[in-house]
């Protein structure tokens, strides 16, 4: 696209004098634009630095002891639960999301009715708020399937929640692979399946990965979908036991009001994970565009 950030041409302004209030208006508009942008980034900066400044001094070694007790609200069980939950949800969502994207982009005929329905359902899924996912998870996995408050219920709920994100990013990545790659592969006698797995997927990998990394960020930060599916027990859980992730740990701590310092510390850990995930995803995506 052309660079449209050029300065206005002043000759025209001189020949046909711009009315004074027009010039003032322009100046006000410019001020508003800069002011709003400054405010947006100032809020972000303030939020991050405030949490870091208040939280980092509270990151005491005792918070990383192996077990949780009411005297020492260690976050280690929560960290392990978060890792478990992330892996489980990804394990469920990535194959389905990726294969759906492959079906939509590599197999389905253009203008296929089913493709449209799938796109509409994906859009619907991505607009549903996490509390509705939480309710559904509670009704279906916890109650109807009798899984109780458990890692399995939580991970299934989260898997459905991140499915549209993984699907969309994977589809975009597949779409960005030039058709000439596929044609060359077919021309050399490879079948469709081999073309997909040997040629298309490797070139689309950075895009797919950056989508997966973004969903890790969402899983780690999720609360509303997990309270009534995975529960809030502070322990290192097995598949059918309840466990609290870091975000829920933080919610419980700040809700009690007794452990504000620990809540600050948890916020720091959450924030750092999210910062890392975002940076990583941007880095991976950058590799994609460079190529």
Partner 1 sequence: MHGVFFVCALVSILAVVLICVFLFANGVPAMQKIGLDNFLLGTTWKPGNDLYGILPMILGSVYITAGAIVVGVPIGLLTAIFMAFYCPKRIYGFLKPCTELLAGIPSIVYGFFGMVIIVPLIRDIAAFFGRDISGSSILAASILLGIMILPTIIGVSEAALRAVPGSYYEGSVAMGATHERAVFSVVLPAAKSGVLASIVLGIGRAIGETMAVIMVAGNQPRVTGDMLKGIRTMTANIVTEMGYAADLHREALIATGVVLFVFILIINLSFSVLKRRKD
**Please, which of residues 174-193 interact with partner 1 by CB under 8 A?**
193
For partner 1, the binding residues in 139-168 under the rule CB under 8 A are 139-140, 144, 160, 163-164, 167
For residue 159, give both structure tokens.
Answer: 């898997």
- CA nearest to 58, candidates 263, 275, 255: 263
Of 75, 85, 90, 104, the one binding partner 1 by CB under 8 A: 104
Q: Does residue 116 bind partner 1 (CB under 8 A)?
A: no
Nearest to 225 by CA among 269, 163, 145: 163
Among 57, 95, 178, 202, the residue binding partner 1 under the rule CB under 8 A is: 95
User: Contacting partner 1 (CB under 8 A), which of 158, 173, 228, 262?
Assistant: 228
Given 125, 205, 233, 280, the residue binding partner 1 (CB under 8 A) = 125
Instruction: Assess 16 for contact with partner 1 (CB under 8 A).
Output: yes
Between residue 199 and residue 218, which ones bind partner 1 under the rule CB under 8 A? 214, 217
**Shortest separation between residue 147's beta carbon and partner 1, angstroms:** 14
- Judged by CB, which is closer to partner 1: 177, or 250? 250
Is residue 91 part of the contact set for partner 1 (CB under 8 A)?
Answer: no
Kindly tell me which of 91 and 260 has the beta carbon lying closer to partner 1: 260
Helices 260-290/246-256 angle, 10° precision: 150
247 lies in the site for partner 1, by CB under 8 A: yes
Contact region for partner 1 (CB under 8 A) — 75-83, 94-102, 182-190, 201-209?
A: 94-102
What's the CA angle centered on 85, arms 96 and 122, to 5 degrees? 35
**Residue 254 lies near partner 1 (rule: CB under 8 A):** yes
Residue among 57, 67, 107, 256 that touches partner 1 (CB under 8 A): 107
Under the binding rule (CB under 8 A), the answer on residue 85 touching partner 1 is no
Angle formed by the axes of helices 76-102 and 246-256, nearest 10°: 130
Does residue number 24 form part of the binding site for partner 1 (CB under 8 A)? Answer: no
Helix (H, G, I), strand (E, B) or coil at 149: coil
Among 41, 60, 238, 287, binds partner 1 (CB under 8 A): 41
CA 183 to chain centre: 34
Return the closest-CA partner of residue 97 out of 175, 157, 163: 163
Cα distance between residue 168 and residue 211, in whole Å: 8
CA angle at residue 262 from 256 to 267, to 5 degrees?
Answer: 100
With respect to partner 1, which residue has the nearer C-beta, 67 or 260? 260
Contact between residue 41 and residue 204 where contact means Cβ atoms under 8 Å apart: no
Closest to 249 measured CA to CA, from 237, 49, 240, 239: 237
């Amino acid at each position: 696209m052309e660079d449209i950030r050029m300065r206005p041409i002043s000759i025209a302004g001189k020949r046909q004098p711009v009315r004074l209030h027009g010039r003032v208006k322009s100046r006000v508009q410019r001020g508003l634009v800069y002011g709003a942008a400054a405010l947006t980034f100032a809020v972000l900066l303030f939020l991050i630095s405030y949490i870091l400044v208040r939280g980092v001094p509270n990151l005491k070694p005792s918070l990383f002891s192996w077990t949780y007790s009411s005297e020492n609200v260690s976050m280690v069980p929560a960290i392990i639960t978060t890792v478990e939950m992330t892996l489980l949800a990804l394990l469920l969502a990535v194959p389905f999301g990726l294969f759906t994207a492959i079906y939509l982009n590599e197999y389905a005929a253009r203008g296929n009715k089913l493709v449209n329905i799938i796109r509409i359902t994906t859009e619907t899924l991505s607009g549903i708020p996490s509390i509705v996912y939480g309710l559904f998870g509670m009704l279906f996995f916890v109650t109807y399937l009798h899984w109780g408050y458990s890692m399995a219920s939580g991970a299934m709920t989260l898997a459905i929640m991140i499915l549209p994100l993984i699907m969309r990013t994977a589809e975009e990545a597949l779409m960005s692979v030039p058709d000439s790659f596929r044609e060359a592969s077919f021309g050399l006698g490879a079948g469709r399946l081999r073309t997909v797995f040997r040629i298309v997927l490797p070139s689309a990998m950075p895009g797919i990965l950056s989508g997966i990394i973004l969903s890790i960020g969402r899983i780690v930060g999720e609360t509303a979908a997990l309270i009534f599916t995975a529960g809030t027990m502070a322990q290192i859980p097995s598949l059918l036991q309840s466990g609290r992730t870091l975000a829920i740990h933080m919610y419980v701590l700040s809700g009690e009001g007794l452990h504000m310092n620990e809540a600050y510390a948890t916020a720091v850990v959450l924030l750092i994970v999210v910062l890392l995930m975002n940076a990583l995803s941007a880095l991976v995506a950058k590799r994609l565009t460079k190529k």
